[in-house]
Structure 1
């Protein structure tokens, strides 16, 4: 029976016939050809370089580590430079769910014309498979722009010859160019952070406003529903982190700036232009980052016949806004030395529409287009998977890169992490015991803890919440209501959680785009008292055992006589246990959820560092080969 299954060494011999050497991989094109027989293949080509370790290796009578562009007759000599990058071509399906590397080349440096020649060969081989290609994606490196200009593209915006596409030399059809929008977004953030001030229509857009927002969040102890931390402000140590750039120029930051402006804080009198800048670029990112055909975001819907007209209008608005941006000396940003990020986003927006028009003209069968599939993320994830193949060694040499390339070419699934190295694969760590003990934190032992409550009240400080904190607490209260409503509670208690009339808190009003719940005054008051209790005991949070239970008891004692005291509530709990009725349970639940949120926030603040260097130095080591 054992002989029915092949031995691992046999499998290795079978896989050894797969050609993983530099050059275009014939097996990849063969697979695409087979796919095309079942369904018309429509794909996007992605090109990027991965830094590898410079190292000459002698193996099986051959020296490895020099540049190699896949030519069999290549003559090895002492003058041949060492390879420091792997230039990889990848095909990403636009009408299906797959991606596949087409080949790689070991290079030291490669001119734009040489890259253009490789691209022509790639287009010819894809054409032979029957696949259709109308787009090309890369980052904004000058050598990549030179590659496209040598093929006929023109990136001089405002010039009558502006042409962010070139004619496919094989099919004579348009090839639309996409500068990876994630890279472009980082460049926009860097421009604002480095220049400090930009102008739109005479109005100032200032990095200082975002810095002031961070400072007020630190001084008040709560964030205004933003992700801004020290990492976002000191972005130079994490310049390559897309998430930080997107969270900085986001709708949440825009709303927070408007909120601080409404409260008339001293440094926020003229923040509306900066808030609008963040909102515009947040919407641009949503358009280009659409990856779900069922997305309900206003600007994050896939391109199809139903959304086409709206997207065309939105792109015109975005284009007009970007064209009006000027640097500190009044020069249009699209004519300055820092134009790459802004121009790249503009080209992506225009070419998404142009690509759809071209597909319709050529009668390509596609129901919708997800702009995310025109990004470089697929290749970045692939690079991450290659680095992860080496375990602790994330800096592969030529031989290790080839081995990882072959293994990933054979595997059906490539996984990676959000941070870069690898993604969680869903496999749990084996526990010592199969029986797990679940601790119910919601069950509080009042008898054992009640005596500790008064032991630590050495100093009683009466805290008054500022308008800023009061609004943030009200916003958190709305989140708590949404969590409780997902539980199985009676309809009467549900009604007590929601606001029926009256004025809506400012922050909720600004951030509400439809689905936000407005909590009742009783829920907000519970959260206010809980926040005051936390601030009274802030210095003891990390010192006292059972701090969560102590905070719950202290807050409960403060609010038990004043919250949910309407006649309807009293009538509702008449037949219930006087010490464990719906009213008591609801108050304790609200307090507990709020304290969980706040303690989690305090732990995050405690763990923040003045400087994050691991990621920075890791990248520096990799890029120095």
Structure 2
């Protein structure tokens, strides 16, 4: 192998990856190496293009230590766009930006510039670890190229003792082409969900389409057809649109006999959580409840509810969601998921449009076919690799069969690039090198799955699958939603002196603090993209809805009532501000001063009962580190409230003629809302 020139290596790698049959034909004439020997030429040191030799060496060390967590994995593939641009590298004294498959960058006047980077990652199946295997700079992506890179990655992992059980690609044209190139067949009556590697061997590898991409295609299909028939039931897209567009409104319903006020009517403010996933149990429950309330837009929605519930159950199976958060697929679950997949298949093959044409045979079939293929793949793995005896593992972490771990790595890579647009090759390689140096392969470590933003972990990055995205698409607003009125300008400023506290009605003080906490909750809800975290900010009526897509919220002074946890954090923040905030004026409102107050708040919260009881299981959806949903939510509430209390002059405009609330001046220099005009329930 060492006798080949660099040009010959590049030629052999390009020919094999892009034209396999041509390479096999030329091997009969020229002394070209065996295709699986090319993995040596497709590898590189450091963060250069190609398979990362350092990462494979670290994986091999884990295998040689006997760590069973690294015995089996899935391989994930995704491409990202790059700017086509030549750049001079002063260190290597070469031009950068050309196609590079690991055998060296093409450097010539007629060489094509790279427009995409294909990234491959290995994800643990029995233990949550991830390892970026490498990337390849190409000028065009094709399904056959992805299939060849997958086979090379599988061979390289097999050489170090890691068995690949599954591969995952996006539900796109390239993903479907790669599936066909590997021997996967996707037909509703004849599905071949595995391929052999090496070809002709006894080892089978399952193929998955990313569930998120498949859900987007199904959403597009429903939006395109508007109405879909399913064994006598009708699925209406308009029900989704009406739910997403439902603005805050007041509804009334008869009180239950248990409340002691049977026969009387109770009023509630109905609010839709825009972060709710479209295909979720919460949406199904919300549609049912709105139908019971008698809203005309949601009548005859039983078919829509049934379809949404089926899709929600499928997502729970593929993402491993259960009563305790993310849980592995155990051997005992096989019967349950098998029945679920049979029901889904019966549904998908019988879906028709308004004129009776089968959806599974239309142009919008790929999303449904992707779910059918994934179901067969998961059933095959469950029956072959989750039995307690004689198999490698008794459980599988199904979230490893999605592109979620790779997407988290890509988000961290984008942050390292420092721009929201497509980076150049030089910027991409520098960011990749920086990120690779900070990663750990240890299962469950803070860097094993990429340093993802804690607000957008797990399913929350699927913004196109939320009610908020449907609302923005069907009812576009001219700009960002209006922020809630500042508590100072609404007359909700809490006093900060002991004298004022003594002269103030304690009920008024409590109401003012509650209103301020409610404002903090509404302010954070403007940018929060996590359904569970958003719902935990407000006081919901749990007797009506078990899930959080539709919230019933009481009002106080025009502001939503906060949850008990938000109220508790703001109360502690107020106590800390009164106790430690009395420092010289020159030191106030500095970053260091705010950080010291935040530290005091956290010290006060230590040792108390856990906050946000609904988020206990939700922690398992993200990184098991200090920056998870729970801790970030507490920090944001504290920072927002302290900012409100220490910077009132930025928002308070006493000269404004359009004051909603009258202000009552008490002794001292503190403004309070009049209890008669600003703290009444609406």
1:25 paired with 2:52, answer: yes
Partner of 1:416: 452
Corresponding residue for 2:119?
A: 88
> How far, CA to CA, are the matches of 2:123 and 2:495 in structure 1?
45
Residue 103 of structure 2 is aligned with which of 57, 61, 71? 71
CA distance in structure 2 between the partners assigned to 1:85 and 1:45 by the alignment: 19
Instruction: Give the corresponding residue for 1:61.
Output: 93
Sort the Cα spacing of 1:550 and 1:52 in 2 relative to 1 into closer, same or farther, 3 A: same
The answer to whether 1:248 aligns with 2:274 is: no
Number of residue pairs the alignment of both structures matches: 439
| Aligned counterparts of 1:305 and 1:440: Cα–Cα separation in 2 | 63
- Report the alpha carbon displacement of residue 393 of structure 1 after superposing the two structures with TM: 6.0
Question: Shift of residue 332 of structure 1?
Answer: 1.9
Give the corresponding residue for 2:208: 178
For 2:372, what is the secondary structure of its paired residue? helix
Change (3 A) 1:62 1:443: same
More deviation in 249-258 or 371-380?
A: 249-258
Kindly indicate whether residue 434 of structure 2 is the aligned counterpart of residue 402 of structure 1.
no
Structure 2 gap segments, 5+ residues each: 1-43, 252-267, 440-446, 460-493, 512-540, 555-559, 569-656, 666-670
Matched, 1:378 2:416: no
Secondary structure at 1:54's aligned position in 2? coil
| Residue 494 (structure 1) aligns with | none
Supply the distance in 2 between the matched residues of 1:163 and 1:64 (Cα, whole angstroms).
42
* TM-score, normalisation: structure 2: 0.57
Aligned pairs (5 A) from 1:421-460? 446=504
Whether 1:326 aligns to 2:376 is no
Q: 8 Å contact 1:415–1:422 — kept in the other structure? A: no
Gaps of 5+ in 1: 1-16, 229-243, 424-436, 454-467, 488-538, 559-590, 596-625
Q: Distance in 1 between matches of 2:237 and 2:361?
A: 21
8 Å CA contact 2:144–2:181 kept in 1: the answer is yes
Equivalent of residue 108 in structure 1, options 129, 139, 159: 139
Equivalence for 1:165: 194
Relative to 1, partners in 2 of residues 1:198 and 1:545: Cα closer, same or farther, differing over 3 Å? Answer: farther
Q: How far apart, CA to CA, are the structure 2 residues paired with 1:264 and 1:196?
A: 23
**Structure 1 348/552 Cα, relative in aligned 2: closer, same or farther at 3 Å?**
farther
Rounded to whole Å, the distance in 1 between the matches of 2:457 and 2:310 is 32
Alignment of 1:104-253 (within 5 A): 104-159=135-190, 162-169=191-198, 172-220=202-250, 224=270, 226-228=272-274, 247-253=277-283
- Tell me how far 1:421 sits from its aligned partner: 11
- CA RMSD of the aligned region, Å? 4.2
Quote the Cα distance in structure 2 between the aligned partners of 1:183 and 1:124: 27
Following superposition, the deviation at residue 372 of structure 1 comes to 1.1
| 1:39 maps onto 2:67 in alignment | yes
Structure 1 residue aligned with 2:416: 389
Q: SS of the residue aligned with 2:224? A: helix
Flag the 1:204–1:350 CA change in 2: closer, same or farther, 3 A: same
The residue number in structure 1 matching 2:82 is: 52
- Which residue matches 1:356? 382
Q: Label 1:32 to 1:269 Cα distance change in 2 as closer, same or farther (>3 A).
A: same
* CA shift for structure 1 position 318: 2.2
SS of the equivalent of 2:168 reads strand
Contact 2:386 2:394 in 1 (8 A): no
Pair 1:259 & 2:285 matched:
no
2:352 equivalent to 1:316: no
Distance 1:261 1:420, change over 3 A: closer
Residue 279 of structure 1, CA deviation:
1.6
Question: Displacement, 1:218?
Answer: 4.2
What's the counterpart of residue 345 of structure 1?
371
1:385 and 1:422 in contact (8 A); partners too: no
Higher strand proportion (structure 1 or 2): 2
Match of 1:272 among 272, 288, 302: 302
- Report how far residue 143 of structure 1 moved: 2.1
Compute the TM-score of the two structures, normalised by the length of structure 1. Answer: 0.62
TM-fit CA distance, 1:209: 1.7
Check whether the contact 2:235–2:303 (CA below 8 A) recurs between aligned residues. Answer: yes
Q: For the residues of structure 2 that align with 1:541 and 1:252, how far apart are their CA atoms?
A: 38
CA distance in 2, matches of 1:422, 1:394: 23
- How many angstroms apart in 2 are the aligned matches of 1:381 and 1:396? 17
